[in-house]
Amino acid sequence: MIELLPILMFVFACMALMLGYPVAFTLAGVALLFAGIGILSGSFASEFLLNYPERVFGTISNGTLIAVPLFIFMGVMLERSKIAEQLLENMARACGRLPAGMGISVVLVGTLLAASTGIVGATVVTMGLMSLPSMIKSRYSPALATGTICATGTLGQIIPPSIALVLLGDIISNAYQQSQLALNIYNAAPVSVGDLFVGAIVPGMLLVGMYIIYLLAVGIFKPELAPAHTHTDKVKLSELISSIAPPILLIVAVLGSIISGAATPSEAAGIGAIAASALAIAKKQFSIKMLKEVMLSTVNVTTMVFAILLGASLFSLVFNGLGGERLIHGFFDELPGGTFMAVLIVMVVIFVLGFILDFIEITFVVVPVVGPILLQMGVDPIWLGIMIAINLQTSFLTPPFGFALFYLRGVADESIPTSAIYRGVIPFIVIQLILMAALAQWPTLVTWLPTLMSQ
């Protein structure tokens, strides 16, 4: 029974989270509860808890995590500056004559928003408010319209600069260092958030391309589900350029500075925050009141992220102190199928947990536990990070508990049934699973560009 304390601790935490208790306090509270049980039963050394202040100091002094509030500020500022509204209107007019043209415009705009904001919930809500009424008015199938918006909104999970990739990158980096030290390798090249950003570019673009191909196929073979608009007013080239240029310039400034090595992710996030503010000023949307609202929203989200991180850090400390890492390591060693089966089981577990936990919680609780073990087995850290990101993106879409479905249900008209939203996301879930299978078969789709950039 004592040997199963780590598993019971994990199950207990998941049950408490499902009941709706605050995540950060739940993780810390469950950790202290099971630490007490472990001390009384003699299976946990209280000295382990003395390491927690050092972990907290390591978190607050981690320069990489400075990027989190800056990217959040950038995303919220862009959302309030109404750049997306003008972009969607002009893109819809430019693509309107294509089969499923409005759906394609939603994907393209969502891609630019994902690369500009990196916040999944904000993108789903923004696209739902802006594009869903227009798509329904244009006689789009409610299922296709809602599925397109949900799937597009989750692109912020995989397309850099993504908050998820920043957090994953930091955790994967620490896990990789632990795995190499366990293998007595002391000079391994470090893995950075920038490496994950570069590794995500090809899979992200492949996913966008697959979405567009699917929508084109629907528009051609089932035009009644996504009618083209032959009477759409043509957009002037100057109008299209003026609406596309700001987010493109922002993406180039942020990602370009990271990929070229001119700036770290934290420095690039600072560039993005300033550039987003400049765009809001140029669009005449900036005001002191708006700045206060953006800063308050940024502080709220950042506080949530770091509170969860500190709670999860205590959770993982107690989990490992109870022998959880040894238990999982032994389980993986005894698995038939070796590394492939270990990765498959981890991906299935993360997928299922994605129904009940947010990506932040999974990143901070699950990845630090399984990451070092998988990396010791020879799994590429960048490939593992991208696979986890896409896996979480898929779980956010999967009925009935996908977070993206909840976000859209909250802003969609009541006349659109929830069943239509569920039906609409299924083809996009299949597309993402196909992409994950392709990345599993050809890992170089992820690793090729980071390897090239490092030469």
74-91 per-residue burial string, b: 16 or more CB within 10 A, e: under 16:
bbbbbbbbebbebbbbbb
- Please answer whether residues 404 and 396 qualify as being in contact, where contact means their C-beta atoms are separated by less than 8 angstroms: yes
For residues 181 and 135, give the distance between their C-alpha atoms in angstroms, rounded to a whole number.
54
Residue-wise pLDDT tens digits, 135-153: 888 888 899 999 998 898 8
In a domain, 204, yes or no: yes
Question: Mean pLDDT over all residues of the chain?
Answer: 83
Mean per-residue pLDDT, 60-77: 81
Predicted confidence (pLDDT) per residue in 343-382, tens digit: 888 888 888 877 767 777 788 878 888 888 888 888 899 9
Q: Is residue 86 a part of any domain in this protein?
A: yes
Closest Cα partner for 188 from 174, 198, 177, 175?
177
**Count of domains forming the chain:** 1
**66 domain-assigned:** yes
Residue 418 identity: T
Residue 41 lies in a domain: no
Backbone φ, ψ for residue 53 (5° rounding): -55, -35
* CA–CA separation, 42 and 39 (whole Å): 5
3-state class (DSSP) for residue 229? coil
Whether 31 is in a domain gets the answer no
DSSP state of 398: S
Over the stretch 172-181, which tens digit does the pLDDT of each residue have? Answer: 888 888 888 8
pLDDT for the residue numbered 118? 59
What integer is the mean pLDDT of 225-237? 70
For the segment 24-46, what is each residue's pLDDT rounded down to a tens digit?
888 889 989 999 988 888 888 88
| Within-domain flag for 10 | no
pLDDT at 230 over 70: no
Q: Is residue 42 part of a domain?
A: no
What percent of the chain lies above the pLDDT cut of 90? 13
Residue 50 lies in a domain: no
Residues in the chain: 455
Cβ–Cβ < 8 Å for 99, 228: yes
Place of tokens 């994605």: 354
Q: What is the pLDDT of residue 209?
A: 94
Threshold 0.85, pTM exceeds: no
Q: What is the pLDDT of residues 158-192, one digit of tens each?
A: 888 777 888 888 888 888 888 888 777 777 777 88
Q: Which of 186, 115, 168, 118 is nearest to 382 (CA)?
A: 168
What pLDDT, in 10s, does the model give residues 245-268? 887 888 888 888 877 778 888 888
Domain that holds residue 271: 62-454
